[in-house]
Structure 1
Amino acid sequence: MAEDQEREEGQERPSRPSTAAARRERRGAARPAARKDADGKAEPRSKARPDSAAKADSADRKGRPTPTRDRKDDKGSIFARTSRFLREVVSELRKVIWPTRKQLIGYTAVVLVFVTFMVALVAGLDVGLGKGVFWLFG
């Protein structure tokens, strides 16, 4: 419903923020401002609760013990593991902030200039030291 209103106004939210700052801002806006108790009342985050009350409250909501670390997980078949790996790769690549074409050209130019300078420096030192050695030892 909110998306329909935005489209009617002509302002469409971008599907993905283009900068890291915009992503942080978007993530911050999505977080809830307060925690809710079991009875549905909002509790401010800054309110300090005694440890015993917090532990008892979380134990009531959880309802089951935490599994031990020694438990071996079922890895599944090779196809399931490969599929999961590929899904995780794709999800990580979506998090990458890809450079624009202009940035890519700029970065490439900087790298090529730097590499050219370093090759010239090493070649100059090689020729200079070679001539010095031949002059010294004849």
Structure 2
Amino acid sequence: MEHIRHIGRFIRQTADELVKTVTPTVREWELWCMAVAIFVLALMILVTGMDFSLGKLTLWLFG
């Protein structure tokens, strides 16, 4: 019987926490999507540059 009370308390606490959540606005979604796209693009440029540079260095060293 004790387990049922724990489960009930867990469900109540979960529902209380869900009420506290705030749904982002469309503008916030747009900003976050832009930020992620810029970050991914920057990482792609960084990795591409490193790959190209290290490839050239390897060919120069072991040519």
- Kindly provide the CA deviation profile for residues 98-135 of structure 1, in whole angstroms up to 9, marking residues without a partner as x: 21112112211111111111122112112211211121
Unpaired stretches in structure 2, ≥5 consecutive residues: none
Query: 2:17 matched to which residue of 1?
Result: 92
Which of these residues, 28, 35, 44, is aligned with residue 119 of structure 1? 44
Count of residues in correspondence between the two structures: 63
CA distance in 2, matches of 1:132, 1:89: 56
- In the aligned structure 1, how far is the partner of 2:61 from the partner of 2:27? 51
- Superimposed CA distance per residue, residues 37-71 of structure 1 (whole angstroms, 9 cap, x where no aligned partner): xxxxxxxxxxxxxxxxxxxxxxxxxxxxxxxxxxx
Percent of aligned pairs with the same amino acid: 35
TM-score by length of 2: 0.74
The residue correspondences of 1:20-99 to structure 2 (distance < 5 A) are 76-77=2-3, 79-99=4-24
Supply the distance in 2 between the matched residues of 1:85 and 1:102 (Cα, whole angstroms): 34
Structure 1, unmatched stretches of 5+, are: 1-74
Larger Rg: 1
Structure number with the bigger relative contact order (C-alpha 8 A, sep ≥ 6) is: 1
Q: Which has the higher strand share?
A: 1
RMSD over aligned Cα, in angstroms? Answer: 2.0
- Alpha-carbon distance in 1 for matches of 2:32, 2:7: 34
Moved over 3 A (4+): none
- TM-score normalised to structure 1 length: 0.40
